[in-house]
Structure 1
Amino acid sequence: MKYAVLRVILLVLLPVCAVFGQSALPDSSFRDQAVRYAHNRYVGSTLDQARIYNGAEYVGHSPRIKGHPYLDSLWQVGSITYDGIVYDNIRLLYDLVDDVVVVPHLDSVYRVRLQSIKVSRFSIPNHTVVRMVSDTAAKNGLRTGFYDQLYDGRLKVLAKRNKTIQTEFVQNTAKEEYLIHNSYYIGKNGVYYSVKSKRSVLNLMADQKKALRRYLRENRIKFSENREIAIVKLTQQYDAFSR
């Protein structure tokens, strides 16, 4: 794949030179625009044969289950890095039950279940999702899977979102619905720690604990009202204090 991209870059450099050569752009600016142009040409010309559409069919779940299994109930247009290639303006679904990314096939009504091992990251409105791989040697504290990146500073904040199917029997009739579960992790020095309470977060930031408690009081931030926002705000503030 890398060699194919390189050949395309070489093939399109001459027309790119003709387009951009009339303006006095710095070398780095010209190079960046040339690479972007070549990349877009390559992806556009091979889209119907792109690897992103060569996965297995996604069957999905029973329509009788109450709710939906996805991060967002509707198709979202975003970007995805798949097998080392960035695809923009791609329609995506993220199945939280199976922890897989789904795209619609270009030439058919069926949906494609992408190979998770080839998905590095994807972005849709309000979410940037990255694939993390468990590293027992480094003891990074995470299971392999997709994580919603909530904050990416000196410290990191990730959310692991998943849905389960709850079944109840009412008058001998099975009723099912999706339940969502969110787990949160703070990354510090390459290791991710599970955090559930205000205490667990502050314990990771012990050198600024007093200042952070004061920050919570002054800004009336309560974990009981929105744990996710509280974790992100505390992490951001810790980074600000540590500059």
Structure 2
Amino acid sequence: MNRIVVLVILIAIFPGSAVFGQKASADSAFREQAVNYAHARYVRSTADQARLYNGAEYVGHLPSIKGYPYVDSLWRVGTVTYDGVTYENIRLLYDLVDDVVVVPHIDSVYRMQLQSIKISRFSIPNHTFVRIVRDTAHNVGLRTGFYDQLYDGRSTVLARRIKTIKTELVQNAVKEEYLSDNFYYIEKNGLFYSVKSKRSVLNLFADQKKALRKYLRENRIKFRQNREQAIVKLAQQYDEATRSL
């Protein structure tokens, strides 16, 4: 139960313990002040929640589509910074098809999508997403949307995770399924660069190419087996190698 509500109940039930030895009028005034204070706190609290739960209803996708459109198939408890306020312990879904964050409405009757423009970042277990707004300088090559922040050091590694719906006709029946894809970006000297292959990463870090090749070899890191991990490891190693430069 809300602590404010508990306080009000206790004051109402045991007025003597709160203002022991005072006159009845003083007791009444004290209880009135406490109730007013609790009411004000409740109004502020619900108003704050209303700032979060003010999006449109989330319709979602057809249940007949094979797979799921989200980064994870289940609701995850996470944190979201929305309109400048950070909310914790919020149940979240991230729709990779529509690039929207979904929450259950406060009354749990239906789902709603948050206004993306008001989200600066959100996190669920194993993922921290930041919203990037495309401009002509710092974020060259990046479209506006949410990016999974894989590494945040002198360099930054981001992953753009998307899903699309594949539709095909099989024996006069429409079959649909979700297809996943990931695109990776590394920030260097204030600009983001798209990277895909080992060559593209090593070319970006050309001043340490020889040392990075040796690092991959000695640590038995296979780029093709786990591209995401390899990109992060290379960025971390590059930052370590150039720390004093």
TM more than 0.5: yes
Q: Corresponding residue for 2:238?
A: 238
Q: 1:7-18, aligned counterparts within 5 Å?
A: none
Structure 1 pair 47/76, CA: closer, same or farther in 2 (3 Å)?
farther
Residues 71 and 95 of structure 1 are in contact (CA less than 8 Å); yes or no, is this contact kept in structure 2? Answer: yes
The normalised TM-score by structure 1 is 0.80
The normalised TM-score by structure 2 is 0.79
Rg larger in structure: 2
SS in 1 for 2:89: strand
Unaligned runs of 5+ residues in structure 1 are 1-40
Q: Aligned letter for 1:192?
A: F
Distance in 2 (alpha carbons) for counterparts of 1:153 and 1:172: 52
Question: Larger deviation: 156-165 or 137-146?
Answer: 137-146
* Identity across matched positions, percent: 77
Distance in 1 (alpha carbons) for counterparts of 2:128 and 2:161: 13
Q: 1:42-191, aligned counterparts within 5 Å?
A: 45-46=45-46, 49-138=49-138, 140-191=140-191
Q: Corresponding residue for 2:214?
A: 214
Residues 137 and 191 of structure 2 are in contact (CA less than 8 Å); yes or no, is this contact kept in structure 1? Answer: no
Residues 140 and 190 of structure 1 are in contact (CA less than 8 Å); yes or no, is this contact kept in structure 2? Answer: no
SS in 1 for 2:112: strand
- Residues matched between the structures, number: 203
Pairwise CA RMSD of aligned residues?
1.7
Distance in 2 (alpha carbons) for counterparts of 1:223 and 1:44: 52
Give deviations 1:43-77, integer Å, cap 9, x for gaps: 98226742110100000000000000000000000
Q: Corresponding residue for 1:19?
A: none
Give deviations 1:113-166, integer Å, cap 9, x for gaps: 111000000011000000000011445321100000000000000000000000
Structure 1 pair 109/151, CA: closer, same or farther in 2 (3 Å)?
same
Question: Larger deviation: 139-148 or 203-212?
Answer: 139-148
Distance in 1 (alpha carbons) for counterparts of 2:128 and 2:42: 25
Distance in 2 (alpha carbons) for counterparts of 1:223 and 1:45: 49
SS in 2 for 1:50: helix
Residues 166 and 179 of structure 1 are in contact (CA less than 8 Å); yes or no, is this contact kept in structure 2? Answer: yes
Unaligned runs of 5+ residues in structure 2 are 1-40
Q: How far apart are residue 42 of structure 1 and its match? A: 8.5
Give deviations 1:147-203, integer Å, cap 9, x for gaps: 000000000000000000001211010111000010000011221100010010011
Q: How far apart are residue 109 of structure 1 and its match? A: 1.6
Residues 1:193 and 2:226 are matched in the alignment: no
